[in-house]
Amino acid sequence: MKKMKKISLLLTIIITVTIGYSQSVWHSQNSGVNNYLSDVHFINQWEGWISGNTGLILHSTDGGFSWVNQEAPANNTYYSVFFTDEFNGWATGYGGKIINTTDGGEIWNMQTPGSSEFLYDIFFLDEYTGWAVGGDNGAYPTFISQREILYTNNGGQTWTHQLNESQKKPLESVHFSSTENGYAVGESGTILHTTNGGANWMEVMSDQSYHMYDVYTTNSTTAFVIAYYLGLPHVPAIFKTTDGGESWSSQTFSEDFSLSSICFSDEMNGWAAGGQNGFSTLLKTNDGGETWEYDYPSTGDYLTNVFFTDNQTGWAVGSSGTVLSSAGFLTGFEEISQKENMSVYPNPATSLISVRLNNASGNNMNLNLFNMNGQSVYKASGLNLAENQEIQISIENLTNGIYHLVLNNASNNYSEKIVVK
C-alpha cells in the first residue's frame, strides 16, 4: 500500500510538452497491400516481417524494397510478429492463436498455447524463451474480462500460464531486457513488472485514467510505456522509470493525437509512433526520453508500430498498407525492386557471380554490393547494359555471409540477396 501511495503522488506531477522538430528522413515503401498492418520486425537492415489483418504476413529480404505475402494460416488478424533470427519466428492473433515458423516463414504451423483469448503481443529473448500477452475485454457472451501472460522455454512447443486472471482488463504489450527483468502493460493503466522471469508479476501501476499501449525496457532499471489519457483533453503520454518500476515520471503532449508503439535502438535513441484523424506521427528522442521531437509530422495514415535495428535504420507501419523506412543507405530506392528482370547466378557463389538484365537494358547504371551492416563492399558506376548482357563480379575476397546486390539508375531499381560461401 505504501508503494501505491508513492506512485499516485508521482502521477500528479505531469510535464506537458510542446514538441519540436528533428531532421530524420523517412520515405514510403510499397507493401503491395491495402491491409491494416499491425506490427513490423526486422532482424537486420535487410530482412524483416510485417503482420496484419486477414491472415497477412509479409516478408522482405531487401530492406523493404519489396514484400512477399507468405502463406500464413488465414482467417485471423496477426497483431504481433517476432523473429529471433532468419529462421525462427512467431505471430499471435485472436482466439489464442500462435503460429510459428522454423524456415523463415516458408511454412507456418499452429502452436497450442492453451488460450482462447486475444493475444496482442509476443516477445522472445532467443529461439527458446518467450512470452505472449493478451486477454478479453468482457464482450458477449461471457461479459467477463480476462488478462493472461503465457511463457515458453522451448520455442513454443509447450506454453504455460504465468498469469491468468478474470475480472482484469487485457494486456497489450510485453518486453524483457533479460531473462529476469520484464514488463507487461495494458488497459486500466496497468503496468506489471517481474524480476524473476515471470514466476511472479507485481502490479506497479494501475490508473484507470490511462490506457497503456506499449512498453520497451532498455536495461534492468529503465523502461518506457506509451499511454493515452482517457480524460479531457485526450492527449498521449510517455511514462518512464529509472528505478525498476518503483516510481514513474510522465510526459504528456499538448497536441491532439495518440501513440501506439515505442522502440529504442540503444539507451539514448528511441522513437514513438501513432497519429490521429488522417495524419501520422513519429516522435524521436536522442537523450533517453528526456525530450521528444517530431521525426515525421505528416498527413497520412495512422501508424501502429515502429521498429529500429540501429540509430539510422527503422521502419514504421500502419493502416491502408502504409510502410515507412528511414534506412539511410536505402534512401532514394523507394520503388519496388524488379527482381524478375534481373538474374544473379550462381547463388550461393564462391568466387564469381554473373549479373544479367532479362529482356531489359539500362544506361548509366550503378552496381553496389552491401553487407549485412549496410556497408558497400563493391561498387561500379556508369554501366551501360544491353538487353540480356552479362557482367561478372569477383567475390573471392569477400568473407562468407549474406550480401545484397543493388543495380539501379534514375528510373529503375533491381536488388537480390546473394550468399557467399
> DSSP assignment of 156-180, as one string?
TSS-EEEEEEESSPPEEEEEESSSS
Q: Are residues 360 and 388 in the same domain?
A: yes
**CA 395 to centroid of chain Cα atoms:** 33
* C-alpha cell at position 228: 493515452
Predicted confidence at residue 38, as pLDDT, reads: 98
Average pLDDT over residues 305-311: 95
Q: Are residues 224 and 347 in the same domain?
A: no
Q: Are residues 68 and 171 in the same domain?
A: yes
Q: Are residues 374 and 309 in the same domain?
A: no
Rank 148-157, 245-254, 307-316 by mean pLDDT and report only the highest.
148-157
Residue 7's pLDDT band, with cuts at 50, 70 and 90, is very low
Average pLDDT over residues 307-334: 80
**Range with lowest mean pLDDT among 112-126, 164-178, 283-297, 407-421:** 407-421
Q: Please identify, among 313, 330, 347, the residue that sits at the C-terminal boundary of a domain.
A: 330
Predicted confidence at residue 297, as pLDDT, reads: 59
Predicted confidence at residue 331, as pLDDT, reads: 43
Q: Please identify, among 272, 306, 330, the residue that sits at the C-terminal boundary of a domain.
A: 330
Look at 68 and 233; give whichever has higher pLDDT: 68
Average pLDDT value over all residues in the chain = 87
CATH assignment at residue 265? 2.130.10.10
Q: Are residues 34 and 146 in the same domain?
A: yes
Look at 138 and 332; give whichever has higher pLDDT: 138
- Look up residue 349 and give its DSSP letter: B
* C-alpha cell at position 181: 527483468
- Is the pLDDT at 340 greater than 70? The verdict is no
Q: Are residues 115 and 189 in the same domain?
A: yes
Q: Are residues 176 and 239 in the same domain?
A: yes
- Is the pLDDT at 372 greater than 80? The verdict is no
Residue 85's pLDDT band, with cuts at 50, 70 and 90, is very high
Q: Are residues 139 and 288 in the same domain?
A: yes
Tell me, what amino acid is at 181?
N
* Domain interval for residue 91: 2-330
Q: Are residues 238 and 285 in the same domain?
A: yes
Nearest-5° angle of CA 48, CA 52, CA 58?
35
Predicted confidence at residue 188, as pLDDT, reads: 93
Tally of structural domains, the chain: 2
Q: Measured between alpha carbons, how far is 341 from 358 in angstroms, rounded to an integer?
A: 5
Q: Measured between alpha carbons, how far is 131 from 153 in angstroms, rounded to an integer?
A: 9
Predicted confidence at residue 222, as pLDDT, reads: 98
Q: Are residues 136 and 221 in the same domain?
A: yes
Q: Please identify, among 270, 298, 330, the residue that sits at the C-terminal boundary of a domain.
A: 330
Q: Are residues 326 and 361 in the same domain?
A: no
Q: Measured between alpha carbons, how far is 200 from 219 in angstroms, rounded to an integer?
A: 19
Predicted confidence at residue 365, as pLDDT, reads: 87
Average pLDDT over residues 223-243: 92
- Is the pLDDT at 251 greater than 50? The verdict is yes
* C-alpha cell at position 82: 517476432
Share of residues in the chain with pLDDT > 70 (%):
89
Q: Are residues 246 and 345 in the same domain?
A: no
